[in-house]
Amino acid sequence: MLYGQFVGSWDLEAVFYEDGKFRRKTGGEWHFGWILGGRGVQDVLFRAGAPRGEFGTAIRCYDPAEDVWHISWMQPSGREFVHLIGRRRDEMIVQEVTGLEPGRRERWCFTNITPNSFHWFDEVSNDNGATWIVQEEINARRRPTRAKVH
């Protein structure tokens, strides 16, 4: 249930940074659902007011032999294709980008996770993890589910 806890729909506020300085703020939506007979979780993420087709998706599947999640993030309109390895670290979920040049590291983390909210951030290091610069932050709130009428 590492990622299963996010299944559902979320409203979000995203903040983008450039070289550690505020660049812009926007709203958006993030939707998570089970796939592959419950063996994986897929999400779709888009910002408010984005043109049709400007969205991204991630597919996450658990590897019990390695005790990690293999993740592929894709945003075709921006030509962004990223592969990550995810795992629980204390109270966080840390997803590390694979295939980067030596000395460069990037991680996408879920923190402050509750049943109805979470904080997510993307940070990069160009000195093998000695210092980190935040590139994006997201605060998400679960959308209320509608009660079924019988």
Burial of 20 (0-12, 13-18, 19+ CB in 10 A): exposed
Contact 51, 44 (CB under 8 A): no
pLDDT-derived band of residue 9, with 50, 70 and 90 as boundaries? very high
**Beta-carbon count within 10 A of 105 CB:** 16
pLDDT-derived band of residue 5, with 50, 70 and 90 as boundaries? very high
Higher-confidence position of 81 and 148 = 81
pLDDT at 146 over 90: no
CATH class of 4-142: mainly beta
Listed residue (104, 98, 70, 101) closest to 2, CA to CA? 70
* pLDDT in the model for residue 53: 73
Predicted structure pTM score: 0.90
Percentage of residues in the chain having pLDDT higher than 90? 77
Dist CA 32 CA 5 (whole Å): 9
